Structure formats: structure tokens, C-alpha cells
Amino acid sequence: MDYILQPWPWYVSGPCIAIVMFLLLYFGRTFGMSSNLRTMCAIGGAGKHVKFFNYDWKSHKWNLVVVLGAIVGGFIAHFLLSNPIDMDLSEATVKDLSALGFNNVGQSLLPLELFSWDAVLSIKGLSILIVGGFLVGFGTRYAGGCTSGHAITGLSSLQLPSLIAVIGFFLGGLIMIHLIFPILF
């Protein structure tokens, strides 16, 4: 039980994610989390105005059930299967984040500087979450997938488009962290 309560090492977590991918393929579906965003837009009626959302979203309901399960899984893991301990981040990361003005680094999953209600209710904090989320939604649909669809499923099936997309993910991430963060924080 103690092993479960501790954070899981990468060599356990990675293969578990591959099992999730396999199970969804075995059920005749596929592993892709960002397509749920399109489904939710379609459920909200976006198909009346925009052709892209006018499709048979009902055949994607199973994926929303995966999302519901994932939320429950997040609850179980966080509240029932975790000892409250600080994250074992690298010292360099803690130092770099402190220099950018982040305190209590690694004491929660998300930094209070961005996700606490105080931060969310500031113009800067709110803008960061909205711009970040918007780019994720726009970019994943443009690229036709996210970490699950391209990085895990696409690379596991040796697809070149997914490799190009993953290179893009890292290009964008590196630009944000190395060039834009020093301006933002």
C-alpha cells in the first residue's frame, strides 16, 4: 500500500499510460483527449453556425465518459491514494522558479501564483489562464491531437505527422518557458 501512496516513478507511470491507450484501441476506439473539446462545442450547438462542429458527436459520447472517469480518478488519487508530501522537483527548477517570484514551489500540484482565487481574480492571472487555455484548444485542433493522440498514440504507431506535431509541442513549450516567461514573470 505504501508504494501506491508514494508518487509513482516514471517507469511505472509510462507503461500504465500505454495500457490506457491499448485498452481504448481494444474497445474499438482511440486515445485522444482533445477531441472532447470539439465534442463539447458540438453539444453546445456550435454545429448550427460552424460546419466543423456539425458532425455525429453522439458517436463520441464514450470519450466524454472517459473524461468523467478521469475526473473521478483524479479525486481518488489525490484525496484517497496520496500522502501529503512535497513534490520531488529538481533543485534547479525550484531555484529558477524562486527567481521568477514563485514561492512554496512543489507544495501543491499547481502554483498558487497562477491558480489560487486571488491570482485568478487579478487581470494578469486571469489573462494567463485564458490565453494558455485558448492556445491549447486552438493548437490541438489545428494539429489534430494533443499529448495523448499524437505523442502517445501517434508515436507508438510510428506516424510521421505525429512526430512533426510533437516537435511542434516542444518548439512551442521551449519558446514559452525560455523566451516568454522571463518577460511575463
CB of 99 to another protein, least distance (A): 12
CB of 124 to another protein, least distance (A): 12
Other C-beta atoms within 10 Å of 155: how many? 13
CB of 122 to another protein, least distance (A): 12
CB of 149 to another protein, least distance (A): 8
CB of 144 to another protein, least distance (A): 6
Q: Can you spell out the DSSP letters for 111-136?
A: -HHHHSHHHHTSHHHHHHHHHHHHHH
Only one residue has cell 455525429, namely 56
Other C-beta atoms within 10 Å of 119: how many? 17
Q: At what angle do helices 123-143 and 160-174 cross, to 10 degrees?
A: 160
Select from 93, 138, 97 the least CA-distant residue to 114. 97
Smaller CB separation from another protein, 1 or 27:
27
Q: Is the dihedral of CA 70, 74, 75, 76 positive or negative?
A: positive
Smaller CB separation from another protein, 17 or 56:
17
Smaller CB separation from another protein, 101 or 139:
139
Smaller CB separation from another protein, 1 or 90:
90
Smaller CB separation from another protein, 11 or 56:
11
